[in-house]
Amino acid sequence: MFDCVLPTRLARHGVAMTKHGNIKLSNAQYANDHSPLDPDSDCYTSRCFTKAYLHHLSRENEMLGATLLSLHNIWYLQKLVADIREEIIQG
């Protein structure tokens, strides 16, 4: 998993990973969704960009969209593993 291409591959296809499931941002339902990508996340992408903007980038095949989603997906996996590690330590 730590040498996996999954987070960046999903990002190139307009998919964001969240604890509530994956979000396919190229879907039309996100065209006017001005909510944060993942309200539970404090990553750069979630703090600074809306689903509508990421939808636009994805639909236009802008590399910035894939880059921002890659940052988010990698942050998500790092946070997931850190949370698992903490749970193990706590018993």
* Chain segment 28-84, per-residue pLDDT in tens: 999 999 999 998 889 999 999 999 999 999 999 999 999 999 999 999 999 999 999
Give the per-residue pLDDT at 40.
Answer: 86
Q: Please state whether the predicted TM-score (pTM) of the whole model is above 0.85.
A: yes
Torsion, Cα 67 71 73 77, to 10 degrees, reads: 150
Alpha-carbon distances of 53 from 32, 42, 89, rounded to whole Å:
9, 18, 39
